[in-house]
């Protein structure tokens, strides 16, 4: 077997047995050996998603993800279901703003069969017109279902107005209009443009031998030639728009609340500080927002903050569900917590708790072969290198209360705040003067 490049991740070698190989056709293969497990998880990652679509093709990434499961040149959808069940495996896929992933998890003894199934699924779909028409109907129902979900809908309303006019703000599922317009030729063209070695990463983790596995992958992907397309160009970071969006929906019992600011990209040097800032604000049951709004005052059942980092931008958002007559109070309390974290240093005890929570979540999140497989691909695509648990722990431990305050002052600017409210709002009105913090 001819292999263009093989590397071992030296910085993480003492804790993670990570290796990577670039095949002659340009496909990058990553593995992490976990000999104490009996499972192997593997995934084909496409380094593009819904934000890499044109307005007319909005939803095509998600549509292709669905369509590859409908049959290949050698297997029907029913064949896939039977063969997966026969080896006790789990075959899945998802589409995000920046990635599409097809993955499978099996016992180590079933790796050859699983690799054959995954490869066939990704490389040989037929996109039959009859299946295409059926799947359009399925996805149109999925769109309707999500629009009936207020938590999903407030997120979509916020995102569409926050990155207005940009693909990052458009829904992953697409719209009824765009999905209905997809033809077999459109699907074939978009598939050919995206599913190329420069845009793909193959990652695997579990009880696996790198060299033996790479030899199998090279044979399986031999039909994918080195000349198959070029790496998709990435667009510039979109402008974020501060906005106030009030959407009346009389059928809802609660007001869905989203307050957000632009934040840092996924690989920013300050990303660990923002992660801790988020944890302190609303990242858990001991967070300031949860304790103040739910525990102390009983104003909301669900209240939390979250980071949404992308390759060149991001958002830091607070979400809540509350009664319409409590909305102004929840907003005022939330703004008060944003102001306090800018003007007062967090205590050493509070910061330590956030650090311990983050480190615990990280370690627990890497305990399965599936999570390691995903972690490998994401680190490669966003960072181009691999970080050990010790690397990340050291970065987290370096964060000081002053760092948290600096980042809060940098990000939590009143003029950058965007607010979306969804519910039976009645006469409720909000303007920029209500967003001082």
Distance CA 50, CA 123 (A): 20
Distance CA 106, CA 247 (A): 45
210 Cβ contact list (under 8 Å, min separation 6): 19, 21, 31, 33
Helical segments of 87-228, H only? 111-123, 129-147, 150-162, 176-180, 184-194, 210-220
258 Cβ contact list (under 8 Å, min separation 6): 154, 155, 157, 158, 317, 318, 319, 419, 420, 421
DSSP string, 174-200: --HHHHHT--HHHHHHHHHHHSSGGGE
Of 27, 383, 367, nearest to 216 by C-alpha is 27
Query: Phi first, then psi: what are they for 230, rounded to 5°?
Result: -125, 165
65 is catalytic: yes
352 Cβ contact list (under 8 Å, min separation 6): none
Catalytic pick among 7, 32, 53, 65: 65
CA angle 179–241–145, rounded 5-degree value: 30
Catalytic residues: 65
């Amino acid at each position: 077997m001819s292999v263009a490049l093989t590397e071992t991740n030296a910085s993480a070698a003492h804790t993670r047995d990570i290796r990577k190989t670039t095949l002659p056709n340009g496909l990058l293969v990553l593995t992490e050996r976990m000999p104490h497990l009996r499972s192997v998880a593997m995934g084909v990652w496409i380094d593009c998603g819904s934000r890499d679509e044109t307005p007319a093709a909005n939803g095509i990434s998600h549509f292709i993800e669905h369509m590859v499961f409908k049959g290949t040149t050698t297997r029907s959808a029913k064949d896939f279901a039977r063969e997966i069940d026969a080896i006790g495996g789990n075959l899945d896929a998802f589409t995000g703003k920046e990635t599409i992933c097809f993955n499978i998890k099996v016992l180590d003894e079933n790796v050859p069969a699983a690799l054959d199934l995954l490869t066939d699924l990704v490389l040989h779909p037929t996109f039959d017109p009859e299946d295409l028409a059926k799947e359009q109907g399925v996805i149109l129902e999925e769109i309707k279902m999500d629009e009936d979900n207020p938590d999903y809908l407030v997120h979509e309303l916020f995102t569409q107005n926050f990155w207005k006019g940009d693909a990052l703000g458009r829904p992953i599922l697409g719209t009824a209009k765009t999905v209905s317009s997809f033809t077999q030729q459109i699907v074939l063209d978009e598939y050919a443009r995206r599913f190329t070695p420069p845009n793909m990463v193959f990652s695997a983790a579990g009880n696996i031998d790198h060299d033996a596995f790479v030899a199998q992958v090279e044979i399986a992907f031999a039909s994918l030639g080195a000349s198959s397309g070029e790496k998709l160009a990435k667009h510039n970071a979109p402008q974020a728009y501060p906005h106030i969006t009030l959407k009346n929906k009389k059928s809802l019992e609660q007001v869905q609340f989203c307050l957000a600011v632009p934040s840092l990209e996924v690989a920013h040097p300050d990303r660990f500080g923002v992660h801790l800032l988020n944890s302190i604000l609303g990242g858990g049951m001991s967070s300031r927002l949860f304790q103040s709004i739910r525990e102390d005052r009983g104003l909301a059942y669900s209240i939390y903050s979250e980071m949404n980092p992308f390759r060149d931008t991001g958002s830091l958002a607070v979400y809540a569900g509350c009664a319409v007559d409590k909305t102004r109070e929840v907003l005022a309390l939330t703004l008060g917590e944003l102001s306090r974290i800018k003007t007062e240093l967090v205590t050493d005890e509070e910061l330590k708790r956030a650090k311990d929570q983050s480190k615990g979540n990280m370690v627990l999140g890497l305990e399965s072969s599936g999570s390691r497989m995903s972690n490998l691909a994401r680190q490669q695509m966003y960072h181009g290198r691999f970080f050990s648990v010790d690397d990340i722990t050291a970065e987290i431990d370096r964060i000081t209360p002053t760092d948290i305050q600096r980042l809060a002052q940098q990000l939590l600017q009143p003029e950058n705040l965007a607010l979306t409210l969804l519910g039976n709002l009645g006469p409720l009105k909000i303007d920029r003067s209500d967003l001082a913090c």
